[in-house]
């Protein structure tokens, strides 16, 4: 099972490091990272493997949202199925 | 591999364009709860609902978290209660109170099915239930009621239409101190669907399985934003853009419904493809029509624009879901749609135009506030007109009018939440009383004879 973590907001030092740390703490393996400036916003998208988490998916999602709030970024953690079902037939 | 723009598109739809799952509705059959003793019957109803829907709200919340998509309401629909009243007799309001307790126990937002199906006539329990509707709605908070008074197959039961005019008025009077909220929970149908997840008209039809999950999606804001991006293009491109967007919206519904059904161990019924607006800015069906090029919703051209929208939503949605059902079309509830409210307030949108619009979209005259001194006969006549459109066009039509007791043209009713607010709209004043008092049935039209 994989999840997509998206981070959107103003660029600053250490975003990737801090997000990765939260993922590592939950034993979520980062598979892929894409970073870009699109539609006038900084966007980072991380694909993480959440099949062997040491906490619940909801807990990881809450931790990442809290990190986002601290840094003034919008962070969403969503199951990859939502994107697959919307954009793939 | 997923690409960046797809991911951002989904997130923008949810964050900025109000894409959400409007409701996960669990349909529960109460036919096996019927008992000759109304108290035994009520006890069985309470037990069955709280047993089957026990995990509905937590499962909904879990899915919301997992996929990051808001699920606004969790609801329940039940077998038309008139069928239980037929077996048990007694005061039907006892059922309403039992349903209210059950709804509160499981934490759902609404419970629909305080209903009767009387398109051809009143069976045992039907009339008692209908007459109890105003009290039931005044004494409960989460219960929704609907009555089907006509169908393409059966014609229109004008005795029921006449009675419903009185019931709507009475519901308004009994809740006059709360902006006539009772009427916002009561809908009169022609060709009512049995698997509708949307309120106030949801009930669990007698042809449905014991328990089922139906999903209603929403996304007028997403459609409007897609049309804005499409820019100056012709209407063929507009229709294609709506289809593509409706496909994506419906895929969400299909995913969430399938997941909920799996987690709850309950069969998945249908996805309802409706575009359901909310009073929030940017979540309006009227604004889609305006994006197509109308200066304001309600002006000439509105019916054509709505017909295009409604058809494109269905065409896009139908491939995205394994089973489509319910109402499936664009909703035009006046008080629940910021654009409709604005159009009604400035006089561009009249009840006559709304009636024409209902011939080409789903549902009907929905959440329309009318003057407090509107007679029961006039309400009945509006119901009859709307039912005639549904009957002849083999489509669902409905009437949800709110007589604003003590208020007149220029006043506004405030319901708050999803129900929004609405200005009092003008009606014609000459009396249809003699026509309504004739009673009897309007025969089924020729198009009912398809066999």
Predicted ipTM of the assembly: 0.83
**Domain A2-87 indexed as CATH 3.30.70.260:** yes
Contact list in A for residue B5 (CB cut-off 8 A) is 38
Distance CA(B246)–CA(B221), nearest Å, equals 11
State residue B410's pLDDT score.
87
Query: A35 touching B, CB under 8 A?
Result: no
Contact list in A for residue B66 (CB cut-off 8 A) is 57-58, 78-79
How close A25 comes to chain B (CA, Å)?
Answer: 19
Tell me the β-bridge partners of B145: B114, B186
In a mutational test of the B interface, the residue from A8, A85, A88, A89 whose CB has the highest number of chain B CBs within 10 Å is A85
> CA nearest A47 in B: which residue?
B2
State residue B243's pLDDT score.
95
- Backbone φ and ψ for B153, nearest 5 degrees, come out as -75, -35
How close B330 comes to chain A (CA, Å)?
Answer: 21
Question: Are B137 and B143 in contact, with CB atoms under 8 Å apart?
Answer: yes
> CA nearest A42 in B: which residue?
B8
Query: A78 touching B, CB under 8 A?
Result: yes
Q: Which of residues 13-42 of B touch A (CB under 8 A)?
A: 15
State residue B238's pLDDT score.
96
Q: Reply yes or no: is the peptide bond before residue B200 cis, omega within 30 of 0.
A: yes
State residue B1's pLDDT score.
61
Check whether A24 has a pLDDT greater than 90. yes
Of B84, B90, B87, B185, the C-alpha closest to B134 is: B185
Check whether A38 has a pLDDT greater than 70. no
Closest CB to B68 among A38, A47, A78: A78
Question: Are B201 and B187 in contact, with CB atoms under 8 Å apart?
Answer: yes
> CA nearest B254 in A: which residue?
A85
Question: Are B2 and A58 a contacting pair at CB < 8 A?
Answer: no
Strands A41-49 and A74-79, bridge-based pairing: unpaired
Strands B71-78 and B143-151, bridge-based pairing: unpaired
- Under DSSP, the state recorded for B131 is H
Please, what are the domains in chain B? 24-190 (3.20.70.20), 216-435 (3.20.70.20)
H-helix or E-strand containing A24? helix A15-25
- pLDDT tens by residue, B16-44: 888 899 999 999 999 999 999 999 999 99
- A-B CB pairs within 8 A amount to 64
Check whether A39 has a pLDDT greater than 90. no
Question: Are B252 and A85 a contacting pair at CB < 8 A?
Answer: yes
- Under DSSP, the state recorded for B123 is -
Q: Which of residues 56-75 of B touch A (CB under 8 A)?
A: 62, 65-69
Q: Which of residues 48-77 of A touch B (CB under 8 A)?
A: 57-58, 61, 74, 76-77
Check whether A41 has a pLDDT greater than 80. no
- Backbone φ and ψ for B291, nearest 5 degrees, come out as -65, -30
Domain segments of chain A: what residues?
A: 2-87
- pLDDT tens by residue, A62-84: 999 999 999 888 899 999 889 98
Question: Are B8 and A6 a contacting pair at CB < 8 A?
Answer: yes
Q: How many Cα neighbours within 13 Å face the side chain of B106?
A: 30
H helices of B155-301, in order, are 158-174, 220-230, 235-264, 285-291
Question: Are B66 and A47 a contacting pair at CB < 8 A?
Answer: no
Check whether A40 has a pLDDT greater than 70. no
In a mutational test of the B interface, the residue from A8, A42, A86 whose CB has the highest number of chain B CBs within 10 Å is A86
Question: Are B5 and A38 a contacting pair at CB < 8 A?
Answer: yes
How many angstroms separate the Cα of B218 from the Cα of each of B67, B196, B297?
Answer: 16, 14, 20
- Give the distance, in angstroms, between the CA of residue B378 and the centroid of all CA atoms in the same chain: 22
The tens place of each residue's pLDDT in chain B, 451 residues long, gives 677 788 888 888 888 888 899 999 999 999 999 999 999 999 999 999 999 999 999 999 999 999 989 999 999 999 999 999 999 999 999 999 999 999 999 999 999 999 999 999 999 999 999 999 999 999 999 999 999 999 999 999 999 999 999 999 999 999 999 999 999 999 999 999 999 999 999 999 999 999 999 999 888 999 999 999 999 999 999 999 999 999 999 999 999 999 999 999 999 999 998 888 988 888 899 999 999 999 999 999 999 999 999 999 999 999 999 999 999 888 999 999 999 999 999 999 999 999 999 999 878 899 999 999 999 999 999 999 999 999 999 999 999 999 999 999 989 999 888 889 999 999 999 999 999 999 999 999 999 998 8
State residue B418's pLDDT score.
83
Q: Phi-psi category of B293—alpha, beta or left, where left has phi over 0 and alpha has psi -120 to 50?
A: left
Query: B162 touching A, CB under 8 A?
Result: no
């Amino acid at each position: 099972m994989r999840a997509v973590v998206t981070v959107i907001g103003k660029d600053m030092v250490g975003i990737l490091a801090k997000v990765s740390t939260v993922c590592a703490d939950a034993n979520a393996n980062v598979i892929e990272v894409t970073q870009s400036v699109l539609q006038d916003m900084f966007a980072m998208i991380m694909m993480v493997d959440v099949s062997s988490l040491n906490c619940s998916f909801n807990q990881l999602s809450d931790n990442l949202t809290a990190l986002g709030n601290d840094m003034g970024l919008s962070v969403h953690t969503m199951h990859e199925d939502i994107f697959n079902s919307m954009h793939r037939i | 591999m997923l690409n960046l723009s797809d991911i951002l598109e989904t997130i923008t739809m949810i964050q900025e364009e109000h894409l959400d799952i409007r409701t996960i509705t669990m349909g529960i059959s109460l036919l096996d709860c019927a008992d000759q003793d109304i108290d035994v019957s009520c006890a069985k109803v309470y037990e069955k609902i709280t047993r089957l829907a026990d995990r509905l709200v937590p499962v909904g919340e879990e899915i919301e978290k997992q996929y990051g998509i808001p699920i606004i309401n969790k609801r329940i629909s039940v077998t038309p209660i008139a069928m239980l009243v037929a077996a048990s007799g007694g005061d039907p309001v006892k059922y309403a109170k039992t349903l209210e307790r059950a709804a509160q126990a499981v934490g759902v937002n609404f419970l629909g099915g305080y209903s009767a199906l009387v398109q051809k006539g009143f069976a045992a329990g039907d009339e008692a239930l209908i007459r109890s509707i105003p009290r039931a709605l005044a004494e409960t908070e989460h219960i929704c009621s609907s009555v089907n008074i006509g169908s393409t197959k059966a014609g229109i039961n004008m005795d029921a239409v006449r009675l419903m005019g009185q019931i709507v008025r009475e519901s308004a009077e009994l809740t006059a101190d709360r902006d006539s909220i009772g009427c916002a929970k009561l809908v009169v149908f022609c060709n009512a669907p049995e698997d509708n997840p949307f309120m106030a008209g949801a009930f669990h039809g007698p042809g449905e399985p014991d328990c089922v999950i139906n999903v209603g999606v929403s996304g007028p804001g997403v459609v409007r934003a897609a049309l804005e991006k499409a820019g100056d293009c012709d209407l063929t491109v507009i229709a294609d853009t709506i289809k593509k967007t409706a496909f994506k919206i419906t895929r969400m519904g299909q995913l969430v419904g399938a997941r909920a059904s799996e987690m709850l161990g309950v069969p998945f019924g249908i996805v309802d493809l409706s575009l359901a607006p909310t009073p929030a800015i940017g979540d309006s069906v009227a604004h889609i029509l305006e994006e197509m090029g109308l200066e304001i919703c309600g002006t000439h051209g509105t019916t054509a624009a709505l017909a295009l929208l409604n058809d494109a939503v269905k065409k896009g949605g139908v491939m995205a879901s394994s089973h489509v059902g319910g109402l499936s079309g664009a909703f035009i509830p006046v008080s629940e749609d910021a654009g409709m409210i604005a159009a009604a307030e400035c006089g561009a949108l009249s009840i006559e135009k709304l009636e024409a619009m209902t011939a080409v979209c789903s549902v009907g005259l929905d959440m329309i506030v009318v003057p407090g001194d509107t007679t029961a006969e006039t309400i009945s006549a509006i119901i009859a007109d709307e039912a005639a459109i549904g009957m002849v066009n083999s489509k669902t039509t409905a009437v949800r009018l709110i007589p604003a007791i003590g208020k007149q043209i220029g006043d506004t009713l405030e319901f708050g939440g999803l129900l929004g607010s609405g200005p009092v709209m003008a009606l014609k004043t000459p009396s249809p009383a003699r026509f309504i008092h004739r009673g009897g049935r309007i025969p089924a039209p020729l198009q009912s004879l398809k066999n």
